[in-house]
């Protein structure tokens, strides 16, 4: 009986952990590749919607947060240290980002970036940074 309860407990923990974990970065990238939107459009989308955005970095707000701007507006993007530090991300950089819409409890919206590219020359050569 104890073994049966233990198996049920472990199965429940594994199931709840898998549910809690959400989408993998690769799933987000695959979905985002099919959903290129403007910043204004991204702000209207549901939480956890995968998107691709393009624009210019306006400034580093704080920590891992940067302001991204396109012709429709601007948005806070959350870029992991593993991306922005090696690529030297700074104001004026033209970038493409893939990530998820993250609607905060205060109703503000930002983008959790899982992949980012910086335009490295005028011939539209993008240099991608991601954890995969």
Which tokens hold the place of 20?
């809690």
* pTM of full prediction above 0.85: no
- Which phi and psi (to 5°) does residue 100 adopt? -115, 140
Q: pLDDT category, 24, cuts 50, 70, 90?
A: very high
| Domains identified in the chain, total number | 1
Average pLDDT on 54-61 reads 97
pLDDT for the residue 56: 98
Which tokens hold the place of 107?
């109703």
| Residue 2 falls inside a structural domain | no
Which tokens hold the place of 83?
């991306």
Our CA angle for 39, 52, 16, nearest 5°, is 105
| Residue 18 falls inside a structural domain | no
Higher local confidence (pLDDT), 2 or 52: 52
| Residue 108 falls inside a structural domain | yes
The boundaries of the domain holding residue 72 are: 23-130
CB 102 within 8 A of CB 65: no
* Range of lowest pLDDT (26-30, 78-82, 106-110): 106-110
Q: Is the pLDDT of residue 130 over 90?
A: no
| Residue 11 falls inside a structural domain | no
| Residue 17 falls inside a structural domain | no
Q: Is the pLDDT of residue 75 over 70?
A: yes
CATH of the domain at 47: 2.40.50.200
């Amino acid at each position: 009986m104890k073994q049966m309860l233990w198996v049920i407990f472990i199965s429940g923990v594994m199931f709840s952990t898998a549910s809690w974990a959400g989408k993998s970065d690769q799933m987000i990238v695959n979905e985002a590749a099919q959903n290129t939107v403007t910043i204004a459009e991204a702000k209207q989308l549901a939480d956890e919607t995968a998107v691709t955005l393009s624009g210019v970095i306006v400034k580093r707000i704080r920590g891992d947060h940067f302001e991204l701007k396109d012709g429709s507006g601007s948005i806070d993007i959350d870029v992991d240290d593993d991306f922005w530090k090696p690529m030297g991300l700074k104001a004026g950089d033209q970038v493409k980002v893939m990530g998820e819409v993250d609607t905060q409890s205060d109703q503000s919206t930002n983008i959790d970036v899982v992949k980012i590219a910086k335009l490295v020359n005028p011939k539209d050569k993008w240099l991608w940074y991601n954890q995969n």
